[in-house]
A and B are shown apart, each in its own frame.
Chain A
Amino acid sequence: EVLLEESGGGLVRPGESLRLSCAVSGFTVSSNFMNWVRQTPGKGLEWVSVIYTDGSTYYADSVKGRFTISRDNSKNTLYLQMNSLRADDTAVYYCARDFSKGVLNAFDIWGQGTVVTVSS
């Protein structure tokens, strides 16, 4: 069964760090373009980051320099290291597969999401 399962969310204070994980089942993380997308009630869905099959990484301007996407091929797991967290990073974070490998940016598999709350 094809499945994405996020974990690692929680409540942190501004300036702190958090690492999200996305365990992948049913396909190989390294053979796919894997993304993080977040959702807030106020701003809706926002693309955060992508890691390509060749390991290249790209970020939204709002997180560039603070967030790092990576993967562990041996664990078939995607990660998002989030540093210097701010209140406006508060959101539900989803990992999602782009089945088109960047051609269409079409996300066909999504996890259930993990909640990140940044508050003092």
Chain B
Amino acid sequence: QSVLTQPPSASGTPGQRVTISCSGSSSNIGHNIVNWYQQLPGSAPKLLIYTTNQRPSGVPDRFSGSKSGTSASLAISGLQSDDEANYYCATWDDSLNGPVFGGGTKLTVL
């Protein structure tokens, strides 16, 4: 099972704001930045947020990230139907000495 804990599912209606949580520990999120990936059905993951709250070029500002202690969150505002995807958090783990991922959250737009 994954080092980082995410809820398996989340949902919202178009236009709504949803948040996805990612829980870790002092050996990972507590001391390191968090990245988020979006994986559309049948596609490879795509970098969505890096350094906890930075967006790569081309990612809308509807997507934002935050961190507090050993947890992180991804917020999506103005939800759209094409936001329906799996979302993964990721960070470095000092104990495992490597990158670790969350188990993923499947976002459904109702």
Query: Which residues does A use to contact B, with CB under 8 Å?
Result: 35, 43-47, 58, 60-61, 94, 100, 104-108, 110-113
A113 interface neighbour in B44, B50, B99, Cβ under 8 Å: B44
- For residue B35, which residues in chain A have a CB less than 8 angstroms away from its CB? 104-107
- CB of A44 within 8 A of CB of B100, answer no
**Given known A-B contacts A43-B2, A100-B50, A104-B51, A58 and B98 have beta carbons under 8 A apart:** yes
Q: How many residues of B contact A (CB 8 A)?
A: 26
Complex Cα distance, B43 from A60, in Å, reads: 24
**Given known A-B contacts A44-B101, A46-B101, A110 and B92 have beta carbons under 8 A apart:** no
- CB of A106 within 8 A of CB of B100, answer no
Complex Cα distance, B101 from A45, in Å, reads: 6
Interface residues of B in 61-100 (CB under 8 A from A): 88, 90-92, 96-100
